[in-house]
């Protein structure tokens, strides 16, 4: 397990993370530096109350006042929860804040690559989770083109999937950290095609709503400076169906959880998908609080955050923050 250190510092309006853009070439060793991401400041929403109307009678006036009081109380509660998400005093956020933690014992090898970190499960030949940070600047880079060369992750210890396991099975090699998020680095692009970063996915899911969400994540990173991402298959207590000579597990569900800083507040949301084609289903219908995804997966997301901030951010989501 990784030990996560929360380095506290003041920096209003920014999310500071290690700098990928001043790194040496792929043939040189990586360096770890800070980088600055400017978050788009959104105007604070004003609390609205229904305009009052002349009451025809005292009883009717009281009856009409009740919904207004309830609406005001709900708005006040929402504003209070958002205030708890304020991370002004936590900026810059510490390196590694995006990394999840397994709540229950299972096979795990944590591997850090150029563009993402993977918790690899050799029992199932797939990841427990993949996590990374996507910045505005990275989404605008075109340094690397998609390569489509899937290979075994050379850092994996133990059993691994191979390309032959997927041949003529009807399943796609579905990316967890998508190649489209790795165009800022030739090495990151190559490593995104490691088989530790893919799972057997229904083609309708991989090429449909899953891809749609990947594209939206890039949009949200541009709008808000950066997005923290954790994604992977749901690994239940019971065994999963297998494919290929290496018996690669076929997940029944996948998840993706997201977190970003908006106006110095943390906003989070989760998604869970069955391994099937969703047709024209809207992603809005699948939005969940991160708490729900934690209950399903047995994974603690963003554990490096202070408990009160993490609890507030993960217990609900504000759909209006996430533009579609």
User: Which helix or strand (DSSP H or E) is residue 233 part of?
Assistant: strand 226-233
Distances in Å between the alpha carbon of 318 and those of 100, 226, 287? 22, 18, 10
Catalytic residue among 113, 175, 253, 318: 175
Q: Which two tokens stand for residue 164?
A: 């032959």
Which DSSP symbol is given to 158?
S
Q: Could you identify the residue written with the tokens 């996507």?
A: 134
Asked whether 192 and 177 are in contact (CB, 8 A), the reply is yes
Asked whether 257 and 311 are in contact (CB, 8 A), the reply is no
263: alpha, beta or left? (left if phi > 0; alpha if psi -120 to 50): left
User: Residue 191: which of 138, 151, 232 has the closest Cα?
Assistant: 151
**DSSP symbols for 177-192:** S-GGG-TT-HHHHHHT
d(CA 158, CA 319): 42
318 is catalytic: no
d(CA 229, CA 71): 33
Query: HSE of 178 in the Cβ direction (CA atoms, 13 Å)?
Result: 18
Residues catalogued as catalytic = 175
């Amino acid at each position: 397990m990784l030990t996560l250190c929360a380095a506290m510092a003041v920096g209003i309006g920014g999310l500071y993370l290690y700098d990928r853009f001043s790194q040496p070439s792929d043939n040189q060793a990586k360096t770890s530096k800070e980088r600055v991401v400017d978050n788009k400041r959104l105007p604070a929403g004003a609390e609205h109350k229904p305009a009052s109307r002349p009451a025809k009678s005292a009883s009717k006036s009281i009856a009409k006042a009740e919904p207004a009081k309830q609406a005001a109380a709900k708005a006040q509660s929402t504003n209070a929860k958002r205030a708890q998400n304020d991370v002004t005093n936590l900026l810059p956020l510490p390196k590694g804040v995006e990394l999840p933690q397994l709540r229950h014992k299972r096979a795990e090898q944590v591997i850090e690559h150029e563009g993402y970190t993977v918790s690899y499960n050799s029992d199932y030949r797939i990841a427990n989770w993949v996590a990374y940070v996507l910045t505005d600047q990275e989404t605008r880079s075109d340094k690397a083109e998609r390569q489509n060369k899937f290979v075994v992750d050379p850092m994996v210890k133990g059993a691994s999937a191979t390309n032959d396991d997927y041949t003529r099975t009807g399943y796609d090699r579905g990316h967890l950290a998508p190649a489209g998020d790795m165009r800022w680095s030739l090495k990151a692009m190559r490593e995104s095609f490691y088989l530790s970063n893919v799972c057997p996915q229904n083609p309708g899911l991989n090429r449909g709503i899953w891809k749609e969400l990947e594209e939206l994540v890039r949009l949200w990173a541009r709008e808000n400076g950066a997005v923290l991402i954790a994604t992977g298959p749901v690994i239940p207590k019971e065994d999963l169906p297998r494919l290929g000579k290496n018996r690669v597990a076929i997940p029944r569900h996948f998840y993706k959880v997201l977190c970003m800083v908006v106006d110095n507040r943390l906003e989070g949301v989760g998604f869970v998908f069955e391994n099937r084609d969703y047709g024209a289903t809207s992603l809005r219908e699948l939005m969940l609080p991160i708490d729900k995804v934690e209950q399903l997966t047995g994974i603690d997301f963003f554990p490096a955050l202070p408990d009160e901030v993490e609890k507030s951010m993960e217990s609900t989501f504000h759909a209006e923050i996430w533009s579609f």
